[in-house]
């Protein structure tokens, strides 16, 4: 160690630290006035290419050197070491890393320069591990710091001015520049609306109020695309040649586990992901057209993944045709899945006419069957109970009265014939008349009311000795025989 004149020492261009707190520097200067410089600075002989009036170049201890000048000292204790540029940078980085007040961005720049200068013969992963071992940190810590260099200028300013936390900065640094600016604007800017367009007022900033964990969830939800759901091959480097394969892309959460933790692998470059969706859609359309198919794309309103100039239709318009065999293949660009749909108006009209004809034919059978079943039941109604009595009983039964109340109703109405009937007989008569009456209505086949009516009618028909199924088969046979023969069936019969 030796005493060197302050005038013979110049600051190093390799020192990662660029910002110095003036108040804290003044406090250090006052301490030096009272007690002197207790820890020597480290210097090296100035390299010939930068030689000027100075003889030595600072390697570590710039705050002490600056404070000594403020304190009015002429000399400072120093250790002189003959160091190369790479060695000097390593010492500076390690010395700064041991200080509590080092700025994250300055640390990131120092790490970046050092791994590229100090161990050029190693792979980047090994360089990071080497640096981490030298400074007593984890490789994840080094990678996280170096990633901060991907921040846009507005992001760096926000971090340096304490508008965002280091956790916010780490998340922002994983995003493309345009997405970074939008997310940062939501964090620290006032929002200004010009008509229906939203703008960020970068002249009026305030500290971020969104928690780091919440921001991470919002980023994953809004900008992340789960790669497990991608409709294309993640290892395909030729789908979009400029982008390469997703499996080796750094713009995904899986490649930045130190920052995102154990989450599902998601793409954080939405523009690139959409390009791949579009390229994959083009491949699918090209293959289908080579097979002679008509192709149309299903759109969710944003047209993501639909190649320029391709036909598209809103997906809600296709809901009724997803399971029909038609003349067009519909491609979902977000999933890569396809299905057939009758898209032409002629195909739709023909199908609707056919369905309507089948429905009318079925209704003709039902109406005639119910008519004949009702007549058969009425012919076999018990003679000991009159229609008026049964109407009252039906009304009572519909309100879920107990059997005792049925008998009471009969007594109130002074119908002595009911006193001679047991409860089971009264209920059977009521149900018989109700079914016969309901068969005269025209419920929609397949409806609940239709099913209930037909079930009661079949039970009563069986009780009265009527074969309801035979009536149904007879009606179907008669109506089928009365139908005009279809042209194609007639041609087949004649040909045979």
Residues with catalytic roles: 62
- Start-to-end CA span in the chain (Å): 117
Phi then psi for residue 203, to 5 deg, are -90, -10
Long-range contacts of 401-405 (CB under 8 A, 24+ apart): 403/427
Concatenating the DSSP letter of every residue in 333-382 gives: TTT--EEEE--SHHHHHHHHHHHHHHHHHHHHHHHHHHHHHHHHHHHT--
Comparing CA positions, the residue from 268, 263, 237 lying closest to residue 252 is: 268
Q: How many Cβ atoms sit within 10 Å of the Cβ of residue 116? A: 13
Concatenating the DSSP letter of every residue in 3-59 gives: EEEGGGEE--TT-S-----HHHHHHHHHHHHHH---S-EEEEEPPGGG-SS-SEEEE
Length of the chain, in residues: 496
Concatenating the DSSP letter of every residue in 245-280 gives: -GGG-SSBGGGGHHHH-S---EES-HHHHHHHHHHH
Strand (E) or helix (H) holding 448: helix 448-463
Question: CB burial class (10 A; 0-12, 13-18, 19+) of residue 178?
Answer: exposed
């Amino acid at each position: 160690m030796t005493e060197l004149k302050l005038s013979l020492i110049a600051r190093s261009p390799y020192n990662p630290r660029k910002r110095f707190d003036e108040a804290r520097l003044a406090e250090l200067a006052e301490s030096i006035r009272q007690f002197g410089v207790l820890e020597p600075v480290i210097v090296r002989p100035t390299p010939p290419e930068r030689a000027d009036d100075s003889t030595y170049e600072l390697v570590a201890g710039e705050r002490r050197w600056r404070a000594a000048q403020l304190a009015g000292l002429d000399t400072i204790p120093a250790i002189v070491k003959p160091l190369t540029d790479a060695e000097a940078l390593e010492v500076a980085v390690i010395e700064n890393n041991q200080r509590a007040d080092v700025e994250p961005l300055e640390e990131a720049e120092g790490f970046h320069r050092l791994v590229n200068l100090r161990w050029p013969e190693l792979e980047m992963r090994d360089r990071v591990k080497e640096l981490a071992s030298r400074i007593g940190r984890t490789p994840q810590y080094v990678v996280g710091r170096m990633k901060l260099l991907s921040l846009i200028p507005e992001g760096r300013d926000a971090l340096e001015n304490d508008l965002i936390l280091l956790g916010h900065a780490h998340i922002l640094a994983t995003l493309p520049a345009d997405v970074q600016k939008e997310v940062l604007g939501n964090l620290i800017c006032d929002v200004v609306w010009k008509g229906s367009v939203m703008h960020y007022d970068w002249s009026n900033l305030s500290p971020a109020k969104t928690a780091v964990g919440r921001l991470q969830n919002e980023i994953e939800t809004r900008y992340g695309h789960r790669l497990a759901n991608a409709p294309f091959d993640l290892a395909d480097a030729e789908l979009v040649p400029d982008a390469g394969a997703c499996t080796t892309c750094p713009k995904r959460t899986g490649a930045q586990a130190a920052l995102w933790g154990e989450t599902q692998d998601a793409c954080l470059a939405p523009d690139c992901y959409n390009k791949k969706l579009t390229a994959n859609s083009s491949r699918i359309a090209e293959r289908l057209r080579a097979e002679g198919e008509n192709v149309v794309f299903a759109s969710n309103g944003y047209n993501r993944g639909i190649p320029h100039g391709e036909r598209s239709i809103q997906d809600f318009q296709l809901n009724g045709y997803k399971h029909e065999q038609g003349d067009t293949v519909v491609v979902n660009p977000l999933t890569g899945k396809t299905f057939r749909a009758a898209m032409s108006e002629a195909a739709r009209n023909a199908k609707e006419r056919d369905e309507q004809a089948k429905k009318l034919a079925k209704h003709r059978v039902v109406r005639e069957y119910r008519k004949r079943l009702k007549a058969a039941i009425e012919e076999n109604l018990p003679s000991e109970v009159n229609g008026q009595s049964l109407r009252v009983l039906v009304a009572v039964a519909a309100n879920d009265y107990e059997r005792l109340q049925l008998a009471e109703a009969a007594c109130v109405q002074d119908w002595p014939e009911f006193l001679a009937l047991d409860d089971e007989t009264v209920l059977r008569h009521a149900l018989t008349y109700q079914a016969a009456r309901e068969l005269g209505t025209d419920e929609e086949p397949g409806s609940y009311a239709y099913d209930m009516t037909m079930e009661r009618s079949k039970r009563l028909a069986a009780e009265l000795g009527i074969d309801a199924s035979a009536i149904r088969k007879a009606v179907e046979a008669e109506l089928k025989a009365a139908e005009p023969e279809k042209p194609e069936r007639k041609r087949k019969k004649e040909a045979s």
